[in-house]
A and B are shown apart, each in its own frame.
Chain A
Amino acid sequence: MKEKVIIKRLEEVIYKGRLLNIPIKEDHIVKKSIEVFGDDEPCIIHQSFVIKEILTNLLELFKDKDIIKGKDYIEGLSFLNYEEIESISLELVRKK
């Protein structure tokens, strides 16, 4: 999970950094925590685990490409803490 991600809205970079640090909606973490642990008040270690689960799913979307467009994955990217997912794109900078 050393990969880096660049998120753009149109041509403007709105996030550039480690995959592990991308902004995720808090309520999505809770939703995922209920799914994984049956817990709606996850401790920080459980939150950390859940975030990795979310990111593993995200990496699946990049399986055969380096850039994905929000409009193609509105549901799959709904965890991102951004409005108007359809107008953003994500680029995965793979570890060389």
Chain B
Amino acid sequence: MKVYLDNASTTNVSKEVFSAMLPYFTDEFGNPSSLHEQGIRNRKIINKSRILVADVLHCKKNEIFFTSCGTESINWAIKGLAYNTSTKGGIITTKIEHHATSETCKFLGDRGYSVSYVNVDKEGFIDLDHLRAIINDNTLLVTVIMANNEIGTIQNIKAISKICYEASTYLHVDAVQAACHTLLDLEELDVDLLSISGHKFHAPKGVGLLYVKEGTKLAPLIHGGQQELKMRAGTENVAFTVGIAKALEIGIANLGKYTKRLNSYSTLFLKRLDEAGVDYILNGPEIGENRLPGNLSLSFKELDGSVISYLLNKRGIYVSTGSACDSESIEPSHVISEIGVPIDYINATIRFSIGNETTLEEINYVIDNLIEIIKLEI
């Protein structure tokens, strides 16, 4: 049996999404900027996709921009604001961001911007009092990850948004893991910028979205033609635009059932580990509304995560470790280090990310094998 429990890394393109995209690779290949029937049909389909995305996210269509991925969206949001503002030079972020954010902030920090870090607690939640304390008149932007890719912590974005509004500061939210995995209502969240990546919810790799609230002063990242309101030049990827819109529509429509099923699988997973007497820590919050459904970041006592994931791989079970590549050594990830996972657990952190297509039989297969491997390796 092959079991893919690495859905937080990427997902397959679903059959419905693939079927929706297919005509735009072969028959409907016209350039959307061309004024002939082939081109016009594709312009129309991009416009329809944008309207569909805006409808499901509850925003205006001219606030949605198609990009090539979540990382591009995040780069554009942060650099685009920085390049367009000369009066403020402060950025606040956390130490548990995806590298797309942390490296972009570091890039700007090296060029004179002041980058500050708001504290997070041991479950990864932002300390709102600390945010209130460090936000100031020079703060251009607060940029935070909505649902943590490693430990699944879902932040209270509404509360963060309120603090940013009161301080007249822009708020960018990295919603790459959040979209289709937790409620994402832009009307309710009231953020200025929000980044999404298609391949996390069964659209293809190579397409993302950036939401830019009307009135937000953002500089273009890619200059050239008229595409995307002259904000993101380059011939549009029509098929992928169709794909991400379709995947978002399906994902949001199924969110309730998806959440319930994945939370029940996660609960079963932990129950069986407890029954087997496995010594582990669940990193991040408990299973429930503040944790991404299906995300189980587990640290096992006195084991080696690279060995566990290798042996799982040999048994056809695909997971991720919470490790980072240094030039000289394998280190625990910055997220796992920041939340203070104890030293005797930190080297065996595995992220099991259950997905929409995971079955109960697969979950039981993974747990059986995991318990067996742990017993062999203790």
Q: Confirm or deny: B111 has a beta carbon within 8 angstroms of a beta carbon on chain A.
A: no
Interface flag for B1 (CB, 8 Å): no
A1 contacts B by Cβ under 8 Å = yes
Taking Cβ atoms with an 8 Å cutoff, the residues of B that contact A are: 304, 306-307, 310-311, 314, 323, 325-330, 376-378
Shortest Cβ distance from residue A2 to the other chain B in the assembled complex, whole angstroms: 6
Q: How many residues of A contact B (CB 8 A)?
A: 11
Given contact pairs A2-B376, A45-B306, A52-B306, a sample of 10 additional A-B residue pairs in the complex whose CB atoms are under 8 Å apart: A1-B307, A43-B327, A44-B329, A45-B323, A45-B330, A48-B306, A48-B330, A49-B310, A52-B310, A95-B376
A20-53 residues at the B interface, CB under 8 angstroms? 20, 43-45, 48-49, 52
- Could you say which residues of chain A place their CB within 8 Å of the CB of B304? 1, 20
Contact: A44 with B327, CB < 8 Å? yes
- A81 interfacial by beta-carbon distance below 8 Å: no
Contact residues, A62-96 vs B (CB, 8 A)? 95
Interface of B is mostly: mixed
Pairwise interchain contact B377-A1, C-beta atoms closer than 8 A: yes
Determine the chain A residues whose CB is within 8 A of the CB of B307 once the complex forms.
Answer: 1, 20, 52
A-B contact pairs, 22 of them (CB 8 A): A1-B304, A1-B307, A1-B311, A1-B377, A2-B376, A2-B377, A2-B378, A20-B304, A20-B307, A43-B325, A43-B327, A44-B325, A44-B326, A44-B327, A44-B329, A45-B323, A45-B330, A48-B306, A48-B330, A52-B306, A52-B307, A56-B314
Nearest residue, chain A, Cβ from B329: A44
* A52 CA to B327 CA, complexed, in Å: 19
| A48 to B377 Cα, complex, angstroms | 17
A45 lies within 8 A of B325 (CB): yes
With a cutoff of 8 Å between Cβ atoms, the chain A residues found around residue B330 in the complex are 44-45, 48
Assembly CA distance A56 to B329 (angstroms): 22
In the assembled complex, the CB of A1 is this many whole angstroms from the nearest CB of chain B, namely 5
The interface residues of chain B lying within 8 Å CB-to-CB of A56 are: 314
